[in-house]
Amino acid sequence: MAPCIDDGKSLFNFVVQEGNGVKGLVDSGLLNVPSQYVQPPNERIDKSNAYPHDQAPIDLSGLDGPRHGQVVEAIARAAETFGFFQVVNHGVPLELLESLKDSAHCFFGQAPEKKAVYLKGDYVSMVYTNDEDALKHWPNECKEVALEYLKTSTKMVKKIVQVLFEHLGVTVDEPRIDALIALKMVLSNGRFKSAEHRVRTTSTQSRVSIPIFTIPQPTEKIGPLPELMERDGVARYREFLFGDYMNNFFGKAHQGKKSLDFAQIAAHSCE
């Protein structure tokens, strides 16, 4: 039975507590999007200052040949301007991506009570610490393929991180993919951008998002790389605990890059 969309508590219970999720709202036959799922105008990206991401995908296969330098420059340029880019020939097999998508549909197609065990708000959160815990606690419908995807995509992310370090002229034996990807704007001392973005949905086709977030431990210290502060002659961000950043981030919902304001220590344009 569809919830009363005018009753916020009933909607919350239906979507979250009972495990129906947003899919349950769609399946219930609602004709209008509940107001709780409509972003207020004052929190939307200003379209006059926004631009579509129409940059061509970057071909990572060129990193292993004579086009290495060109690909490095393309990745670095995108990180310094867009702060967001797509890649192809990344080493993650198409068959694996399709299997992952099928597994997601299989999981969300289950009865609400079975999904509710794994829900965190409106979504499923699968935290990875080691293979044993993942196989024990992740949903049976997707744990094996998700684990394979995690390992394969991590290799690709590490290659991109190595390229960004190469561009910065910083030498590291084993790049910390969690720190740089999570807060590349801070570690690069403002050189790499953090793109505020929105993903649009359609009224004709469902969308499945399976993002991977690589993050440090809450007690890990984050700050600009010393080599870059020395080279730039200024530190644009102070050092802080990652846990403090996360608390600040979730305390400023829908404020995009403003979540990093608390770490700025010098006049610096983020645009």
Give domain status of residue 150, yes or no: no
* Percent of the chain predicted with pLDDT > 90: 19
Structure tokens at 183: 């807060």
Q: Whole-number mean pLDDT of the chain? A: 80
Per-residue confidence band for 148, with pLDDT thresholds at 50, 70 and 90: very high
Give domain status of residue 257, yes or no: yes
Q: Mean pLDDT, to the nearest integer, of 230-248?
A: 89
Give domain status of residue 256, yes or no: yes
**What is the per-residue pLDDT across 154-192, written as a single tens digit (0 to 9) for each?**
888 888 888 888 888 887 666 555 555 556 788 888 888
Give domain status of residue 244, yes or no: yes
Per-residue confidence band for 271, with pLDDT thresholds at 50, 70 and 90: very low
Query: What is the pLDDT, as a whole number, of residue 215?
Result: 79
Give domain status of residue 9, yes or no: yes
Residue 37 main-chain phi, psi, to 5 deg? -105, 10
Query: What is the pLDDT, as a whole number, of residue 73?
Result: 93
Q: Mean pLDDT, to the nearest integer, of 83-110?
A: 89
Query: What is the pLDDT, as a whole number, of residue 193?
Result: 83
Question: Cβ(187)–Cβ(152) under 8 Å?
Answer: no
Reported residue count of the chain is: 271
CA dist., res. 223 & res. 235, Å (int): 9
* Percent of the chain predicted with pLDDT > 70: 80
Question: Cβ(182)–Cβ(213) under 8 Å?
Answer: yes
Task: Please state, as a whole number, how many other Cβ atoms lie within 10 Å of the Cβ of residue 76.
Answer: 17
| Structural domain of 242 | 176-191+209-271
Q: Is pLDDT of 243 > 60?
A: yes
Q: Mean pLDDT, to the nearest integer, of 27-53?
A: 75
Number of folded domains that form the chain: 2
Give domain status of residue 113, yes or no: no
Angle between helices 143-168 and 94-108 (to 10 degrees): 130
Give domain status of residue 54, yes or no: no
For the entire predicted model, the pTM comes to 0.77
Query: What is the pLDDT, as a whole number, of residue 21?
Result: 79
Question: Cβ(101)–Cβ(142) under 8 Å?
Answer: no
Structure tokens at 152: 């394969």
